[in-house]
Structure 1
Amino acid sequence: MAFHCQILLQLVLSHALLILIFSGLISTRVTVHGFSIKEANVDDLQLAFQQNKLTSRQLVEFYLGEISRLNPLVHGVIEVNPDALYQADKADGERKAKAPGWLSELHGIPVLVKDNIATKDKLNTTAGSSALLGSVVPRDAGVVKRLRDAGVVILGKASLTEWSDSRSLTLPDGWSARGGPGLNPYVLSASPCGSSSGSAISVAANMVAVSLGTETRASMICPANANSVVAIKPTVGLTSRAGIIPISLRQDSIGPICRTVSDAVYVLEAIVGFDENDAEATKQASKFIPHGGYKQFLKPDGLKGKRLGITRIPFLNYPSGSVVPNVFEDHLKTTRRTNGCNLEINNIHVILNVNQSGEATALVAELKLALNSYLKDLVVSPVRSLAEVIAFNKKFSDLMTKSLEEYGQGIFLVAERTKGIGPVEKAALLNLQKLSRDGFEKLMIDNELDAVVTPGADFAQACHLASALGD
């Protein structure tokens, strides 16, 4: 009874602001003092702040209005922050008290964070699962702390494929028990991809300008591609993994999903760096943060003198009639990168096959270890281990609609049967390192490349091994 009462209380809190919107107590104007909020990027918003055409409160009110209007259809947001307007008012006060140039580019900007990223506030952190509703995290995630230090407004939690798509192979992209079916705002019948679906959906639908996602295997790049937004997937350790509901500490990474490249770079700049709660990864990776930061590279001629490789096979294997190949070639003409292009990763078909590469073997073992550790660290939680999550899903199937019957929890069941990192798992991990060295890394070194250009998001599944911890 106590658990269900707690769920009811959390639902009341998460919908309190939306009730104010429906009652007309919160303004949702698209234009304020001649400034159009819709499609505005961070630079536009900051200029409007400086010119007194916009306040953070008005910006938050607009986004809350768009969430109330669009979210029942596209399901990009799981929960809104009851303190969002308070945080906006605080930012407005700070802006009045400080001289221009003293505040970060993100100061007063609302941000949605994926629902597997811990926030020590009135918001839940559940990975889209009812099993963690009402749980209490010990502290903000490392990246959230950095965002708060930059002065952002935490607008709420973005939806996702439940448990970051680690529960079952048959879960639809963007679906979770708490969030429902996430839909692509451009084509409702098209996949939004996952698992950071809501982070991309919400930016694409103008329910927020800035969001955070996480990626283990293409989980930011794929939704960004599907929803026509921008994602940056950092090398593991550039951003702290502390406070993230994990899959694999070796591959998990946190990064921005935004409307523009410059917005994504502002967020990246804010969230990278050492974190004592993830010292193992961030201490080493922070050495590679460029002196002067990433913003210095935001210039029109940034690609001048850079050597770009282009991989078409097998990534241009689209159905007959698809516009993607032509659009891709037109893009290459625009960037004047049409020569010396047909590069190929020799072992790409093995890398893309999680069973053949050994990645599936490694991931299920890592999932059990990492998730058990995260759950034990919670201050309050209905579940304390993967085994208890599995049992919860069976016992409280009414909280999951009909998803357990339809989608199952096959990955969880396989992961629970693992016994840690034994000889088989170690062999799989060694093979993944070899595949990376002989594949993507070899392509970059042999061809002296600065970057690789490829259509779609499939290539993210080839280069993620190179950015894993320890590789």
Structure 2
Amino acid sequence: MNTSTSVEFKFTIPESTIVEIHTALTHKKLTSKHLVEFYLRQIETLNPMYKAVIEVNPEAIHEAERADEERDKKHPVSRLALHGIPVLVKDNIATKDKLNTTAGSYALLGSVVPRDAGVVRKLRDSGAIILGKASLSEWAYFRSSNLPSGWNARAHQPISPYVSTLDPCGSSTGSAISVATNMVTVSLGTETDGSILCPSSVNSVVGIKPTVGLTSRSGVVPISARQDTVGPMCRTVSDAVYVLDAIVGFDKYDATATRKASKYIPKDGYLKYLISTGLQGKRLGVIRDYPYFGFGNDTETLNKFEKHFDVLRRNGAILVENLEIIDFERIITMFNGEDIALTAEFKMALNAYLKKLVLSPVRSLADVIAFNKKHADMEKINKYPQDLFLAAEKTNGIGKIEKEALLNLKKASKLGFEKLMNDNNLDALVTPYSSGSSVLAIGGYPGISVPAGYDKSGAPYGICFGGLKGSEPTLIEIAYGFEQATKCRKPPVIMN
């Protein structure tokens, strides 16, 4: 099939959006099978260089053929937003099929999960095709403090498609690179602190880090139930919103968090917030002086973003500047509790996850540590020591130190970000790159990263809009308004 033929529109698969693909499918200028075959060829050609995909679904073509049959028979499911759309999911998100779920580690190779992750089940219910597993920083960047961004034992080191020497950022590295290089339509990533926002920023894609609990974490290899979240990583804001619409909502296997966050979900979904005038009247905080919360008085970074401040103003946004964070130094000291809390939470959460597997060579963090020692060459333990694992294994639940750390994190969120937002009546805080990720992470707040430009070397960078819990509708309006006003993203030049 010639994908460049058209009826009333020109269509090629690379860079196509969900809406454009559906239009091509409707006009019978494309089939889901052809779409999947195209991406499989892309992966075969490009993945040896970029290492963004750990494995592909051997049933993907069959799933695509089934989608085509449903469309031909005008089955009701064919009207769903993601029907026939291929999706790569990060390799720490469980799929109950012929794919492995390993978090990039050989320790989990061959393990059998009890069921699809909650978000995967919702993807399938929306008609999506699971194309395969995206590469990641092994164990979502929680094995070694010396691990390069994106590296894992199974797929090795991903490479930035824009600048080969650029840090591709993790842990959802493969999810970002795969959509940037047109190896898939859309992808899912996970974030505990920066793992969606950072790789989205440096690979020139859109990443949505949802409010914690808005998307289910069941079936996701965990770090912390308090901070973990699953979100879309796509080439456009609209595609990301289509995916977000599909994966949010209650899941009985992550009942407490998803029930609590369900109150934030608009009755008729998020698509109505894709309005080009979304910046009009929005109060956006721009903090020039403080690190973590803003630009840290970095002249070089500020110079990059001044043009975007002008764009925001011209499109009706109200920039609220020269903001002060009361008792900033004490709040930043409270941030130190994140490592203490995550280390203890990781051991408890991982042990619980491993025990629920139907089949697995490892059943505890201690087992994984032992596996890595036994297979040190394969896992490159001497080069990338498992110091984070060892520190976590020494913990014994939530004791006095951990409780104090958790209390400090809660205080830091209330006295820092929430107070800043509420006192200044802000709709969002604007930060460069992913520099605000820790602030958003420790409080469970949402953020959206949108491509914002390229430096002199061609390295991409994003702009992040962060808000209070449940503010996804407002953030989508802002992000979409900015994207439509700037159209910053350009695809990488692929060197075959």
Is 1:361 the counterpart of 2:337? The answer is no
Query: Which residue of the partner structure matches residue 205 of structure 2?
Result: 229
CA contact (8 A) 2:56 2:132 kept: yes
CA contact (8 A) 1:67 1:77 kept: yes
Residue 32 of structure 1 and its aligned partner are, at CA, apart by 5.7
Query: Which residue of the partner structure matches residue 355 of structure 2?
Result: 376
Residue 30 of structure 1 and its aligned partner are, at CA, apart by 6.2
| Distance change >3 Å, CA 209–CA 344, structure 1 → 2 | farther
Query: Across the two proteins, how many residue pairs are aligned to each other?
Result: 438
Residue range with higher mean Cα deviation, 330-339 or 149-158: 330-339
Between the two structures, name the one with larger relative contact order (CA 8 Å, sep ≥ 6).
Answer: 2
Secondary structure of the 2:373 match is helix
Residue 124 of structure 1 and its aligned partner are, at CA, apart by 0.3
Secondary structure of the 2:442 match is coil
| Distance change >3 Å, CA 152–CA 351, structure 1 → 2 | farther
Query: Which residue of the partner structure matches residue 190 of structure 1?
Result: 166
Query: Which residue of the partner structure matches residue 117 of structure 1?
Result: 93
User: Which runs of no fewer than 5 residues in structure 2 stay unpaired?
Assistant: 447-468, 470-496
Q: How far apart in 2 are the matches of 1:132 and 1:89? A: 31
Q: How far apart in 2 are the matches of 1:70 and 1:257? A: 19
User: Which runs of no fewer than 5 residues in structure 1 stay unpaired?
Assistant: 1-26
Q: How far apart in 2 are the matches of 1:369 and 1:120? A: 24
Query: Which residue of the partner structure matches residue 278 of structure 2?
Result: 302
**What one-letter code is carried by the residue in structure 1 that aligns with 2:303?**
N
1:23-422 map, 5 Å? 31=4, 35-98=11-74, 103-313=79-289, 314=291, 315-317=294-296, 322=300, 324-336=301-313, 337=317, 339-346=319-326, 357-400=336-379, 403-422=380-399
Residue range with higher mean Cα deviation, 391-400 or 341-350: 341-350
Q: How far apart in 2 are the matches of 1:207 and 1:318? A: 38
**What one-letter code is carried by the residue in structure 2 that aligns with 1:413?**
L
CA contact (8 A) 1:309 1:451 kept: yes
Q: How far apart in 1 are the matches of 2:323 and 2:79? A: 44
Q: How far apart in 2 are the matches of 1:302 and 1:99? A: 35
Secondary structure of the 1:408 match is coil
Residue 359 of structure 1 and its aligned partner are, at CA, apart by 0.8
Task: Spell out, residue by residue over 1:335-392, the C-alpha distance to the aligned partner (whole angstroms, 9 max, x if none).
Answer: 21474323344466666678x6211110000000000000000000010000000000
**What one-letter code is carried by the residue in structure 1 that aligns with 2:11?**
F
CA contact (8 A) 1:352 1:462 kept: no
Residue range with higher mean Cα deviation, 331-340 or 192-201: 331-340
Q: With structure 1 as the length reference, what TM-score do the two structures score?
A: 0.89
Q: CA RMSD in A?
A: 2.1
Secondary structure of the 1:424 match is helix
CA contact (8 A) 2:332 2:412 kept: no
Task: Spell out, residue by residue over 1:217-241, the C-alpha distance to the aligned partner (whole angstroms, 9 max, x if none).
Answer: 1110010001010011111111111
| Distance change >3 Å, CA 339–CA 111, structure 1 → 2 | closer
Secondary structure of the 1:212 match is strand
Residue 59 of structure 1 and its aligned partner are, at CA, apart by 0.8
Residue 454 of structure 1 and its aligned partner are, at CA, apart by 1.6
CA contact (8 A) 1:136 1:381 kept: yes
Residue 99 of structure 1 and its aligned partner are, at CA, apart by 7.0
Q: With structure 2 as the length reference, what TM-score do the two structures score?
A: 0.84
| Distance change >3 Å, CA 381–CA 295, structure 1 → 2 | same
**What one-letter code is carried by the residue in structure 2 that aligns with 1:405?**
N
CA contact (8 A) 1:351 1:461 kept: no
Q: How far apart in 1 are the matches of 2:205 and 2:35? A: 20
**What one-letter code is carried by the residue in structure 1 that aligns with 2:145?**
L
